[in-house]
Structure 1
Amino acid sequence: MGRRSDHSRSELETLILDAGAGLVAEVGLSGFSAREVARRIGYSIGTIHNVHGTADRLIAAINTRSFGLWAAYLEERLAAGDGDRIAALVDGYFGFARDHTHLWTAIYDHRLPPDMNLTEADETGRGLLTKIVVQEVAGALGRPIDDTVAALARSLIATVHGHCAFAISGAWELMGEAAPEAAALARVRETLAAFRPSPSR
């Protein structure tokens, strides 16, 4: 029998998210089950649906939580770096993927049904990571944040993500690339150098 009155709704939301994220971290998205989350917290599957709606909504919330953890991870790497903030940023991207592989891959493997959109809270939470990158790119270029800088930052995220995804999957190794993170950093530096104004003569 589920413990139907042990927690408030907000407490239940946190309990479910923590248990769901723990399950994804252990078994990946392919092994995820809302029923198993319910079993782990001692509630019925109905409680999961009452709090989060569908399993897709729960997975979306777990992925948004992962984005928050990832943003905090990047901030820690930036704070602990030796002043090379772009290198720290790339290192933080790869590091989170290596340290939390199942949570990281779940972000990109999950797709909401066509008739379902992310909530405003999800959109805001997921935007934290991009906001950090945009700020760092603007700082590296010595430019204010504008549409051009934001677009460049998104392209650089895609570049680093591609290198990182290939590294995690083992595809880089099959192609003979021994240092995918260094390669990603080199591409980012080349792109930033191309966007910096030439020194005045």
Structure 2
Amino acid sequence: MGRRSDHSREELRELILTAGETLMAEVGFANFSAREVAKRIGYSIGTIHNVFGSVDRLVTAINTRAFGAWADELERSLATADEDRIAALVEAYFRFARDHPRRWSAIYDHRPASETITEAEHAMRGRLMHIVAGEIATALHRPVDAALGTFARSLVATVHGHCSFAITGSWAAMGQHDAEMVALARVRESLAAYRGQS
């Protein structure tokens, strides 16, 4: 029997999200079950639908929190970084993926319907790129404009590719090591090339 009157709507939302984050970290997106989340908190699956509207909305909210935690990781790394802040960014990118592989993968495994992402969630998800673009702009002594934003996203894609190969074991299977250092080297090369074009 569900505890239908035990919590307010906001308390329920937090309860569901916390249980959902824990489950996602344990089993990943492919094995995620809203029914299991409901079971863990002692409510029915209908309660999750009442609070979030759909499972897609729930997963979107869980992944948005993962984006926030990831951005926090970048900010913590930058707060203690020496002069090499680009290295601190790459290190933090890899560290979050290594420490939270299923949460990290779920961000990319889930394809939310565009209408399910709220404006606030877009802002939370965009915080990571905002941090990266700001550091890239500082390194290049350029303003953050459309061109630099595109370049920053390209650098993130480069780091992401190396990170993904490292997390899945594909990098090691190719006889390669130190994916993080190689990714950083590619970023440095790209930054040097970008400076040369300016």
Query: Same-fold call, TM > 0.5?
Result: yes
Matched residue SS, 1:196:
helix
Matched residue SS, 2:148:
helix
Structure 2 match to 1:119: 118
In the TM superposition, residue 29 of structure 1 has moved relative to its aligned partner by 1.1
In the TM superposition, residue 11 of structure 1 has moved relative to its aligned partner by 1.3
Per-residue CA deviation, residues 22-65 of structure 1 (Å, 9 max, x unaligned), is 00001111221111101111111111000011111111110001
1:148 matched to 2:147: yes
Matched residue SS, 1:103:
helix
Q: Distance in 2 between matches of 1:70 and 1:100?
A: 9
User: Which ranges in structure 2 are unaligned for 5 or more consecutive residues?
Assistant: none
Cα pair 2:60 2:116 within 8 Å, conserved: no
Structure 1 match to 2:89: 89
Structure 2 match to 1:101: 101
Give the AA of the match of 1:127: G
Structure 1 match to 2:21: 21
Give the AA of the match of 2:25: A
Matched residue SS, 2:63:
helix
Structure 1 match to 2:185: 186
Give the AA of the match of 1:46: G
Q: Distance in 2 between matches of 1:163 and 1:73?
A: 19
Task: Output the aligned Cα RMSD.
Answer: 1.6
Q: Distance in 2 between matches of 1:169 and 1:194?
A: 30
Structure 1 match to 2:52: 52
Q: Distance in 2 between matches of 1:181 and 1:48?
A: 39
In the TM superposition, residue 129 of structure 1 has moved relative to its aligned partner by 0.5
Give the AA of the match of 1:9: R
Mean Cα displacement is larger for which, 145-154 or 117-126?
117-126
Q: Distance in 2 between matches of 1:35 and 1:107?
A: 20
Q: Distance in 1 between matches of 2:150 and 2:197?
A: 21
Q: Distance in 1 between matches of 2:183 and 2:29?
A: 26
Matched residue SS, 1:129:
helix
CA change 1:126–1:49 in 2 (3 A) is: same
Structure 2 match to 1:40: 40
The count of aligned residue pairs is 198
Cα pair 2:56 2:116 within 8 Å, conserved: no
Q: Distance in 1 between matches of 2:196 and 2:173?
A: 38
Structure 2 match to 1:163: 162
In the TM superposition, residue 198 of structure 1 has moved relative to its aligned partner by 8.1
Give the AA of the match of 2:108: Y
Structure 1 match to 2:195: 196
User: Which ranges in structure 1 are unaligned for 5 or more consecutive residues?
Assistant: none
Cα pair 2:162 2:183 within 8 Å, conserved: yes
Cα pair 2:57 2:116 within 8 Å, conserved: no
The percent identity for this pair of structures is 63
Q: Distance in 2 between matches of 1:14 and 1:53?
A: 15
In the TM superposition, residue 88 of structure 1 has moved relative to its aligned partner by 0.3
